[in-house]
Structure 1
């Protein structure tokens, strides 16, 4: 998944409405009607590098990178970089200040003892933030995720940069592996009612570079993961939040799975098993056994930070747990996001709606 448009409430604020909108039932308003916008339908033929860029006509979109890093002493770090695009109204993008697009950036660094996050937002059309397909670049202010000069292809050789008052990172990401289309050839369902996104990933990045926390810089390396999604209404009105995992297994496979929670207590659970060659297999609810084992109290919320995850058909039985259980993103709309580790690998976990 990465249903990552956490910024919807912020967008409504930035739209400068005279009257506050009625509260949405779904998490962050992501289940609100989007009939005037472009719709996600099965059978899309993805085209690269064009689909690396923005998708005019869709309401919400994001470029999302996480990295599980380690220094020479074995200290663990997590890095997150996300750029969101939101169209305030349907129709073609307008030039300059007539552009009604809102851009939002999230960046974070996590260690075993510290977690820092920052947020930036910008109006579209004036160059402060944006994305382009060729040469690929996504940016907001001086935060950027971009193809390095001379790269063989758009996502083969990348530079990732961001920072805040107490952290910074500058990472070189490389991969020669194929992109992965999530769900049904890139059509990723989020509910039994038909809500969906277009979704692809690059789970085979290797990252190396520097991470700075509280003025101290560490040289780090490790696996990284890119998610790309766009949609107009990714949730049903009854869905309240999600638990999303991206996992790098030491034995060479990758795993993405998510559970979208609903008001009645049930959830929509699915995932993608990615073998060492990049071939995929869709996992359904019956294939996955997922349950929280322990929680952490944060900001008046009880957040699951240790999980049991079993996929019997893949002989997988693991217990992902947070590197730092206090990895709370205290931003415009708060959520939990941080690195996890388990016997046999590492990964990232995002949890919203708690």
Structure 2
């Protein structure tokens, strides 16, 4: 076994042990009655917590927050190739603190208090390619030379990376700018090679979710700091089956960090990011469990979202503003996954169907989940209204 493979194997063991510690494994159900989905409802003593009235500051908050337990930079994109065929992609960088700030070891070449995981996926037609990587770092490492650290995120110039998978400010970006960015990630060799080299240009502002960036996730008050850039114009090249083609379309980047994201009763979520053809955007999620048990109409689930105008003005949506109803399921990876939904937001005049044109979007990663492209249509007329992405966990 080569040194690089041995290092990756050790990182995988460490990450798997961490996942098991937080109540999940890659082979078993990722929910726990005591800690919620993937352990995200576990108590987080010693860490900083996401709370209301925290002021988000940019570009500082584009970087990592090691005093919080979990964090991610999450990009999805609905693209087309030169022949007009739809193509979806995902790139995500996750950070997981191994210990609270007070328990951190002194920085040495072998010490690490942060684990990193990155996912990359390309989907077109029935084909769905997935890759995963792991890394480690120390929260007090000098990141002035990013190449000296296996993984990390800095705010100015913006740069998020795990090995040579990276999302970074392009050379023409101003100091501290979050646009334009370049994204590069590849996996495999020869005809099995897939990946992308893309440019992301913001066509609108950042959007803060919830109450000025604090997104509540349960009736008991758990939540995250959460903002998005839902206005990316994306252009570049995608390689699939060893062949490279030009692509273009629109993307959505989510940023969240927290220490106790969920209530311990919550078993998973259904999350949507939608691009309407008239320029509006919608983020909506349903966390299964953790709602107000006295609200029988809404059940015990917890819902939230944001309705976004074409100019980027957000309107927060409360639990009672959103109705998500599964209409049909598909057999995927030995599970029944809801791949057709009805979404109602009466206050915004929304009553739509959301359908995944391809069901086989299972992410065969250490913590498995479903993530794929969806199409939006008016429920009454069937008129196409747009596109987006759906993520579902805990099934």
Please, what TM-score do these two structures have when normalized by structure 2? Answer: 0.83
- 4+ residue stretches of structure 1 with deviation over 3 A? 10-13, 15-18, 20-24
Correspondences of 1:309-328 after superposition (within 5 Å): 309-328=343-362
Q: How does 1:213-228 map to 2 (within 5 A)?
A: 213-228=240-255
Q: Distance in 2 between matches of 1:111 and 1:321?
A: 16
User: Which of 302, 306, 315 is the matching residue for 1:268?
Assistant: 302
Q: Which residue of 2 aligns with 1:49?
A: 59
Question: Shift of residue 246 of structure 1?
Answer: 0.3
Q: How many residues align?
A: 344
Among 172, 186, 191, which residue is 1:163 paired with? 186
2:219 aligns with one of 192, 196, 207 = 192
State the partner residue of 2:392: 351
Structure number with higher strand proportion: 1
Distance in structure 2 (CA, Å) of the matches to 1:154 and 1:52 = 10
Matched residue of 2:267: which SS? strand
What residue in structure 1 maps to residue 330 of structure 2?
Answer: 296
Please point out which of 159, 163, 170 is paired with 1:137.
159
Answer yes or no: is 1:119 the counterpart of 2:132: yes
Give the corresponding residue for 1:331. 365
Q: 1:292-312: CA deviations, max 9, x gaps? A: 111111121100111111222
Match of 2:90 in 1: 80
Q: Cα distance, 1:12 vs. partner? A: 9.7
Where in structure 2 are the equivalents of 1:147-158 lying within 5 Å?
A: 147-152=169-174, 154-158=177-181
- Give, in whole Å, the separation in 2 of the partners of 1:159 and 1:199: 22
CA-based RMSD of the aligned residues comes to: 2.1
Query: Separation in 2 of the partners of 1:137 and 1:274?
Result: 27
Partner of 1:7: none
Question: Greater CA radius of gyration, 1 or 2?
Answer: 2
- Tell me, which stretches of 5 or more residues in structure 2 are unaligned? 1-9, 24-31, 139-147, 294-298, 377-383
Q: CA deviation at 1:16?
A: 8.5
Instruction: State the secondary structure of the residue aligned to 2:394.
Output: coil
Write the distance in 2 (CA, Å) between the matches of 1:319 and 1:176.
27
Task: Output the TM-score relative to the length of structure 1.
Answer: 0.92
Structure 1 residue 58 corresponds to structure 2 residue 68: yes
